[in-house]
Amino acid sequence: MRQIAALPYRTDDSAADTSVRILLVTSRGTGRWVIPKGNAMSGVAPHLAASQEAEEEAGVQGPVCPTPLGSYRYRKRRGSGASLMMDVDVFPLAVTRELDSWKEQSQRERRWFTLAEAADAVEEPDLRDLIRSFGASEFKAATQRTGMFGAVAEKSRLGPMFAWFQRLLPRTGNFFELFEAHSTTVMAGADALARVLEGGPAREEHIREVIEREHDADNIIREVLQTVRKTFLTPFDRGAITSLIGALDDSIDEMQATVNAISLYEVESFAPEMKDMAGIVVDAARLTAEAMPLLRNVAQNSARLHELTERLVRMEGHADEIHAAGLKRIFKEYGDGDTLRFVVEREIFKHLERIVDSFEDVANEIDGIVIDHA
């Protein structure tokens, strides 16, 4: 027997770093910590059913990724007394709104946990492993950049008296910090894009944020290219560095192109397939942001990097299917009677597909670095 579940998550921004938090709820029977889940609904896509369960059980809304993170098993006791094995497909849901009141508010408690705390709180071993794999490492945000030697000195408790030694070293550039800063910017842009496609009165503000994030990303990529020209030693081949940051920048460029089209044509309602693709974009940005810090030690992190890139490629394939289904639906709906509406929506679909394609390009660039350096 199969069920569906949502894994509601958010990222907490601080001056030091960005970390993922997971929302758990208590079960109605035993009061143990679980994720929102339920039975599949006839005629409703699994990820949308999971999103509905999250809203009813936990009072949260946000873009949900149509590609499941994975699945876990547990035994459910039925009214007859039978204890049956259930397979649960888990869909990541990026929380953008917490409701003040919701359907099961009086029956459950909800609480935010860190990844480690959430994994320890749930009872199912498979779910525990799934939560741990969701974000195996935390990453530094763009607001704090520490040089390689500075980080070593800090961990080794070396005082400033050793600063002279750093000046003797050849310039190595701050590429890792720039990669991480750019990926953090892309993730913020993806979150804002998803809010645009949710609609609502704050749409123009979210459009503006996407555009501002794209400008921030342009400043970062400009610094990367300048650093490549000035740096004596680089951690990877210069071509690999420029290709990786270029593919990453393509994603947020297409995010800006998407919101520009939405603003230009004054689109206020969006096809469900567009929202599904936005859910994939949000999760792809999160995976990319996790991958960037792992490049600091490719040999040690090669297995996890492979897991992340494999998932990005799989999500791109799923997005292609959603894209084709969306185009087919709007062609049938607007092809004869409202050609202009069809052309406008097709353009938005095109930009959304290009965003996901760019994340696949990022995955391919990371795979190339792993092959060369692991």
297-331 pLDDT, tens digit per residue, is 999 999 999 999 999 999 999 999 999 999 999 99
* pTM, to two decimals: 0.77
pLDDT band at 135 (very low <50, low <70, confident <90, very high): low
Least confident of 67-71, 210-214, 334-338: 334-338
153-170 pLDDT, tens digit per residue, is 444 444 444 444 444 434
User: Which pLDDT score, from 0 to 100, does residue 7 have?
Assistant: 96
Between 109 and 230, whose confidence is greater? 109
Angle, helix 272-294 to helix 339-373, in steps of 10 degrees? 20
pLDDT at 281 exceeding the cut of 90: yes
Contact 155, 147 (CB under 8 A): no
> What is the chain's mean pLDDT, rounded?
86
Residues in the chain: 374
Contact 187, 11 (CB under 8 A): yes
Least confident of 19-33, 37-51, 141-155, 247-261: 141-155
pLDDT at 296 exceeding the cut of 60: yes
Between 83 and 306, whose confidence is greater? 306
Tell me the helices (H) and strands (E) count for the chain, helix number first. Answer: 11, 10
pLDDT at 266 exceeding the cut of 80: yes
DSSP, collapsed to helix, strand or coil, labels residue 95 as coil
Share of the chain above pLDDT 70, in %: 86
Q: Please state whether 82 falls in left (phi above 0), alpha (psi between -120 and 50) or beta.
A: beta
Q: Averaged over 275-302, what is the pLDDT?
A: 95
- The span from the CA of 297 to the CA of 295, in Å, is 5
